[in-house]
Amino acid sequence: MEKQTSKYRWVVFVSVLFTYLLIVSQRTAPGLISDQLMKDFNISASTIGLLASIQFFAYAGLQIPIGIFSDRFGPNFFLVIGALLNGVGTLIYSLASNEVVFLFSRLLVGIGDAAIWVNLVLILSQWFKVREFVGLLGIAGMAGSCGFLLATVPFSAWITLSGWRAPFFTTGIILIFAGMLLYFVLVKKPKTMVWNEAASKKPKKPREKTLVLLRRIFSNRQAWATFFCHFGVVGTYVGFISSWAVPYGMHVYGLSRSDSSQLIMVGLVGAIIGAPLTSWISSRIDSIKRPYLVVHSIVFLCWSSFLIMNGKPPIIMLTIIFFIIGYGNGASALTFAIVRKSFDIKEVGVVSGFANMGGFLSAVLLPGIFGKVLDHFHTSASSVGYHYGFIIPVVFSLLGLLGGMIIVEKRQEVLQSQVN
């Protein structure tokens, strides 16, 4: 029995995606209580930005090391540990009573989260053939968007009913159990099954030294293209909704927390649609670059519209804008389709980590800088600070567009010999 044709691969797929959905929800859920933490613990906007940034800083900084270790030692162990650390960090966050504990808990969550996506990509590469891979990446992206969606109206309503500590405590417990489930599905159960290992008995080439590998990747145009693509569409969206999106709706438009969460939910619906639809379009036209370039262009125009309209577009237009930038975040699954089609399977982990680092480096930078801008204009009308703050995602999304332009298209037929 081969992994890539066994029915068990779907058990792996569902288990990994369930855990990923939960983990993604905790990237943005703290943004729902930003203003409450500022009030209850006398925390400044800059510190709130730091809380989001430290999580994404750990995530971004560990992407390449995680990619290297996962390529060399396998992804299963790191995925299990990542889920457990995420759960423990979320538990500590639910019990925190001061800034130091808040920061430590988000750091733990970021370290755990760093091990998730890269290893998810590697696990899908191991259990599924390339012709299934692009479509499944779209579904994985959709699962991530559902995780973001979970952290809007449902999580907000839960916070309203029971306070903010109980939802985070419960989610932490569930994540710990999810980590245990992954250990059984990925490590323990496969050991009892007999796999066809004929392919693994082929003579192996000497493993390339880590510094040589990194030097080659850092000088590769395609690797930088994926880095900037992710920087432009993922970090801007994740960084904003994880920190300032809900306060933006409340302070600029006078919306309630629940109504502001519903507005953000529109963007998440776009992300849910964007992942599978853009992957399907890419497969249909046998091109990743063309649809991805269109997505980057439209996302850049959407962020620019905030500047053009002084930080406060009409509410109907705002809804459309969030839907489109959400769609762009979902379409970012194409970044890893580029990686899988452009690099050897032994390099997929480290290059995926490098690309993913771009998205979350952007998510690290945006909340903190945005918070600094808001603090600077705190005595002005609420929309003024946000107006100037939107310069940041405009510049970041422009870099994403440039990344899309320098992608070197590699068609499926050229790579057919590498499929299996």
pTM here?
A: 0.72
The answer to whether residue 258 scores a pLDDT higher than 60 is yes
Convert 208-246 to b/e letters by CB count within 10 Å (16 or more is b): eeeeebbeebeebebbbbbbbbbbbbbbbbbbbbbbbbb
The predicted structure's pLDDT at residue 172 = 93
CATH of domain 7-194+208-418: 1.20.1250.20
The predicted structure's pLDDT at residue 415 = 40
Q: Where residue 418 falls among pLDDT bands split at 50, 70, 90?
A: very low
Average pLDDT over residues 175-182: 93
The predicted structure's pLDDT at residue 378 = 67
Convert the pLDDT of each residue in 188-223 to its tens digit. 888 777 666 544 445 555 666 777 777 888 888 898
Lowest mean pLDDT among 113-117, 141-145, 202-206, 377-381: 202-206
Spatial separation of the C-alpha atoms in residues 190 and 192, rounded to whole Å: 5
Chain-centre distance for alpha carbon 44:
26
Average pLDDT over residues 62-80: 85
The predicted structure's pLDDT at residue 206 = 62
**CA angle 170-176-178, nearest 5°?**
105
The predicted structure's pLDDT at residue 194 = 67
Asked if 118 and 135 touch (Cβ cutoff 8 Å), the reply is no
